[in-house]
Amino acid sequence: MNGARSATAVAHPNIALAKYWGKRAGEGNVPAVPSLSVTLAGMSTTTSVTFDETLVDDELVLGGAMAVGRPKARASELLDRVRAAAGIATRARVVSTNDFPTASGLASSASGFAALALASVRAAGLDWRADEVADLARRSSASAARSVFGGFVELDGGDGATGAARPVAAAHALDMRVLVCVTTEEAKATSSTDGMRATQATSPYWAAWLADAPQSHAAIRAALLAGDFARVGELAERSALAMHACAMAAGIVYFSPATIAALAEVRATRALGLPAYATIDAGPHLKCLVKAGDAAVVRGRLASVPGVLRILEATPGEGARVVTAEAP
Ligand code: PMV
């Protein structure tokens, strides 16, 4: 084995402004529609990977506890792809920590698999470009491909797409803050994978979503490149509601009373003339998009919404990066 045997990478969660929901048929975990997200600074996953000849099996330590079952199997699947590419059979020890609460509704799988992909590629001595690391991360969690890059990032999806992720605009392209309204400490009842599967199988609005989402993505991309915060926010809120409407028609409801109350507050704030917009992922937490200068006042309003437990504030930030790499 050449090069480093151990590497540590840091990655951040991302929030989709143009949502993806559903997978294209076939291999590679490619989304059914294109998406566009913002990578968030201020919340990090740090992951160390050490290939160790003395191990008989991969080991995964998540937040200080030894992981088994599905989380470990998913990490091993990614490590198997890296081992195949590097021509090695050595097992690895993976130690990963989040500095944000995993029940915050910030996709920890996105930052988690982006950090794991980058650390394991580097620890295996592979000199891969960021797009190759993103391709590896996407196979484990599609949204993780976007966290490999910083700023505003798109991920291809749909017929003929390869699922490539690429940066679209730098973090400073919009003077934006994301207010994450945490509404529960519990894990979500339906995983995004299961929710997508049910939606694709039974939602009467699936075809409408497939037809609308690419246009929505293109319009958000254009508004972003024009630096039009209000238009990005308006379209992002619409994309999230279209995704949830499609899922709800299949019986998949991620909203709680606090989600609706926070959405009403965002809209009441907007009616007062403050540009604030909502987006919601596969869970009950609402994320509010605001201009930096309005963040404090909007945060104060959302903090008083019944069911909002606390609010995390994030700025657009950097992509995944290696912080240490060591040869034996
Ligand atoms: O790739 P996953 O399983 O993390 O699914 C992400 C789905 C949404 O967060 C709801 C939308 C998105 O584009 O991130």
pLDDT of residue 5: 92
Give the Cβ contact number of residue 268 at 10 Å: 12
Is 70 in a helix, a strand, or coil? helix
- Angstrom distance (rounded) from CA 256 to CA 99: 26
Beta carbons of 33 and 214 less than 8 angstroms apart: yes
Q: How confident is the model at residue 187 (pLDDT cuts 50, 70, 90)?
A: confident
pLDDT tens, position by position, 269-283: 999 999 999 999 999
In angstroms, what is the span from residue 227 Cα to ligand 1's centroid? 24
What 8-state DSSP symbol labels residue 237? H
pLDDT of residue 186: 80
In angstroms, what is the span from residue 122 Cα to ligand 1's centroid? 26
Q: How confident is the model at residue 129 (pLDDT cuts 50, 70, 90)?
A: very high
Residue 79 CB–ligand 1 contact under 6 Å: no
Beta carbons of 101 and 63 less than 8 angstroms apart: no
pLDDT tens, position by position, 133-165: 999 999 999 999 999 999 999 999 999 999 999
In angstroms, what is the span from residue 205 Cα to ligand 1's centroid? 18
* Whether pTM exceeds 0.75: yes
Q: How confident is the model at residue 1 (pLDDT cuts 50, 70, 90)?
A: low
Beta carbons of 311 and 106 less than 8 angstroms apart: no
Is 279 in a helix, a strand, or coil? strand
- Angstrom distance (rounded) from CA 293 to CA 19: 26
Residue 58 CB–ligand 1 contact under 6 Å: no
In angstroms, what is the span from residue 78 Cα to ligand 1's centroid? 18
pLDDT at residue 102 greater than cutoff 90: no
Report the pLDDT averaged over residues 181-192. 85
Average pLDDT, rounded, for the chain:
95
pLDDT at residue 33 greater than cutoff 60: yes
pLDDT at residue 300 greater than cutoff 80: yes
Domains in the chain, CATH or no CATH each: 6-172 (3.30.230.10), 173-316 (3.30.70.890)
Report the pLDDT averaged over residues 76-89. 98
Q: Whose CA is nearest to atom 8 of ligand 1?
A: 281
Is 138 in a helix, a strand, or coil? helix
Which residues partner with 11 through β-bridges? 45
pLDDT of residue 241: 98
**What's the Rg (C-alpha) of the chain?**
19
pLDDT of residue 188: 72
Q: Which atom of ligand 1 is nearest to the CA of 31?
A: 1
| The two three-digit tokens of residue 153, written as one number | 């990032």
Beta carbons of 167 and 151 less than 8 angstroms apart: yes
Q: How confident is the model at residue 104 (pLDDT cuts 50, 70, 90)?
A: low
Phi first, then psi, for residue 223 (nearest 5°) are -65, -40
